[in-house]
Structure 1
Amino acid sequence: MRILVIGTGGVGGYFGGRLAVAGNDVTFIARGAHKAAMEKDGLKVKSINGDIHVKPVKVTDKISEAGTPDLVIIAVKAWQVKEIARQLAPVIHEKTMVLPLQNGVLASDELKSFLPENNVLSGLCRIISKIDGPGIINHFAVEPTIVFGECDSSQTQRVADLQAVFEKAAIQSVVSKDIQADLWRKFLAICVSGLLGVTRATYGEVREQPETRQMMRNLFEEIAQLAKALKINLEPELVDKTMAFIDSFPYESTSSLTRDVWEGKPSELEYQNGTVVKLADKAGVDVPVNRFVYYSLLLMEKKARQAERD
């Protein structure tokens, strides 16, 4: 399968690397020192599931030079999806599958604003990984999993075929029977990233301090109530399950949003706690903890984006 991976970070580097080692024709989009290192030494993936090394590796910094793919995995930050969609429009063919793995619940709808609906799938992934240095990806926690499907959750042959491609690459995958519910399950969990950013604490520190642990639970409960108001089918025990899931993370681990906030970089704040606040305002649901997190980080986010423009 001809695969284009847009964004060779912790997500795209890991999953794209596995797909390349399995014999697929994978092209990576990367830039700067990361691209240069990949061209020289290949893509190295360090993983608790076993290291891999893709060399030689096909890498470019221009989507227009990547050929016509059968599958596009979009692994950039959520705020970059719209611009990526514009660049993809002239490249894909009528059967190309475009699979977004962004945090949040808006990516597929944003893609459909620029691409034919038939090309767009919905998806999410579970993995804790990061770029360790140019050309090097480090997967250090959580069993890497892709949950995906048609946007309307219909069970089609193409998603079954794609699951077979993932399985051949030793990538755990699930064809969703309710992709909106699955997106919201992850969305609920990741929105604690902003709380880590505000408290400047790791998952372990936030969960062991009684006061911040209660804030975390309240944050989750607010999102569960919002999902209920929006008629998303989430199980009643989801908050308890999510708390237990967070308790399984390595003590010193953090999320990409948290690290971006700490480092003064643009983050996915608008697509996480910001989205909670905006959807809650429309639905008439009270979300005070998410609102506190969002408002507390908003000025830092604006400064980070201004610095990037300057």
Structure 2
Amino acid sequence: MKITIVGTGGVGGYFGGRLAEAGNDVTFVARGQHLKALLKDGLTVKSIQGDFHIHPVRATDAIAKTTPADLVIIATKAWQVKDIAHQLLPVIGKDTMVLPLQNGVMSSEELREILPHANVLSGLCRIISKIEAPGVINHLAVEPTLIFGEYNNHKSERLVPVQTTLQKAGFKAFIADDIQAERWKKFISICASGWLAVTGGTYGEVCQQPETHAILHQLYAEVAEVARALGINIPVGFEDKIMAATEAFPFNSTASLTRDVWEGRPSEIEYQNGTVVRLAQKAGIKAPINQFIYHSLLIKERKARKLKTTD
């Protein structure tokens, strides 16, 4: 399968690397020193499930330099999706499938504002990974998994070869019965990232401290309530299941949003806790914990983006 990976960070680098290792025609879109290292030395992936190295690697610094692919996987930050959609317009074919893997629940919607609806799938991934050094991806925790489907949950035939290709690359891949519910289930869990950023604690530290543990559980329940108010099929008690899963994370693990905030980089706060606040308002309910987290991080976010705090 001909595949373009837009964003070769921890997610795109890992899944794209596995797909390339399995013999697919993969082009990576990357930038800076990471791109230079990929072109010179190839892609190295360190993984709890086994390390591997790919060389040579086909990589470029611009979507415009790619050619139409069967599948485009977007693995960038959420705030970059709209711009990427405009860049993709000239280089996707009629049958190209575009699969966004961003944190949050807005990526497919934003793509559909710009791209033909028939091109856009919905999806999510499960993995904890990061760029360790230029050209080097480190898969730290969680069994790598992709869950995807048609935006409207139609069980189209075109999804089957995609699933087969993904599974042959050596990671789990599922066609969702209800992709919107699956997206929200992950969204509920990742909204913990902002709480970690506020507290300064890792997953283990937040779960170990009774007070921060209690607020984290309340946060999960709050996001689940917003989802249900919007008609998303989230089972009763799902927040308890997510809490138990969180308690099993490696003690020192964190999330990408958390690390971005701590290190003074722009984060996905608008697409995580900020989105919860806005969707709660749309549903006519309150989300005080997410509102507190969102508002607590706004000044840091604006400084990271070099915006005035009064803008």
Question: TM-score category by the smaller chain?
Answer: over 0.9
Q: TM-score, normalised by structure 2?
A: 0.98
Which residue type is aligned with residue 95 of structure 2? K
Provide the rounded CA distance (Å) in 1 between the counterparts of 2:167 and 2:279: 36
- Look up the SS of the partner of 1:214 in the other structure: helix
**Is 1:42 matched up with 2:42?**
yes
What is the Cα deviation at residue 305 of structure 1? 0.7
Aligned pair count reads 307
The answer for the alignment partner of 1:60 in structure 2 is: 60
- Describe the superposition over 1:78-124 as per-residue Cα deviations: whole angstroms up to 9, x where unpaired: 00000000000000000000000000000001001110000000000
Unmatched 5+ stretches in structure 1: none
- Look up the SS of the partner of 1:306 in the other structure: coil
**Is 1:85 matched up with 2:75?**
no
The answer for the alignment partner of 2:115 in structure 1 is: 115
- Describe the superposition over 1:247-268 as per-residue Cα deviations: whole angstroms up to 9, x where unpaired: 1110000000000000000000
**Is 1:276 matched up with 2:276?**
yes
Q: TM-score, normalised by structure 1?
A: 0.98
The answer for the alignment partner of 1:186 in structure 2 is: 186
**Is 1:200 matched up with 2:200?**
yes
For residues 48-197 of structure 1, what are the structure 2 equivalents within 5 Å? 48-197=48-197
Unmatched 5+ stretches in structure 2: none
Provide the rounded CA distance (Å) in 2 between the counterparts of 1:18 and 1:203: 28
Which residue type is aligned with residue 127 of structure 1? I
Provide the rounded CA distance (Å) in 2 between the counterparts of 1:190 and 1:10: 16
- Look up the SS of the partner of 2:28 in the other structure: strand
Provide the rounded CA distance (Å) in 2 between the counterparts of 1:176 and 1:305: 36
- The range that moved more, 185-194 or 298-307, is 298-307
Provide the rounded CA distance (Å) in 1 between the counterparts of 2:18 and 2:227: 34
- Look up the SS of the partner of 1:89 in the other structure: helix
The answer for the alignment partner of 2:233 in structure 1 is: 233
**Is 1:246 matched up with 2:246?**
yes
The answer for the alignment partner of 2:223 in structure 1 is: 223
Runs of 4+ in 1 over 3 A off after TM superposition: none
- Look up the SS of the partner of 1:127 in the other structure: strand
The answer for the alignment partner of 2:266 in structure 1 is: 266
Provide the rounded CA distance (Å) in 2 between the counterparts of 1:239 and 1:123: 21
- Look up the SS of the partner of 1:157 in the other structure: coil
Provide the rounded CA distance (Å) in 2 between the counterparts of 1:23 and 1:175: 22
The answer for the alignment partner of 1:291 in structure 2 is: 291
Provide the rounded CA distance (Å) in 1 between the counterparts of 2:27 and 2:212: 43
What is the Cα deviation at residue 140 of structure 1? 1.0
The answer for the alignment partner of 2:32 in structure 1 is: 32
Between the aligned residues of both structures, percent identity stands at 60
What is the Cα deviation at residue 303 of structure 1? 0.8
Provide the rounded CA distance (Å) in 2 between the counterparts of 1:30 and 1:255: 21
- Describe the superposition over 1:194-214 as per-residue Cα deviations: whole angstroms up to 9, x where unpaired: 000000110000001000001
What is the Cα deviation at residue 160 of structure 1? 1.1
- Look up the SS of the partner of 2:103 in the other structure: coil
- Look up the SS of the partner of 1:123 in the other structure: strand
The answer for the alignment partner of 2:301 in structure 1 is: 301
Which residue type is aligned with residue 31 of structure 1? R
What is the Cα deviation at residue 66 of structure 1? 1.3
Provide the rounded CA distance (Å) in 1 between the counterparts of 2:296 and 2:104: 19
C-alpha root-mean-square deviation of aligned residues, in Å? Answer: 0.7
Provide the rounded CA distance (Å) in 2 between the counterparts of 1:233 and 1:283: 15
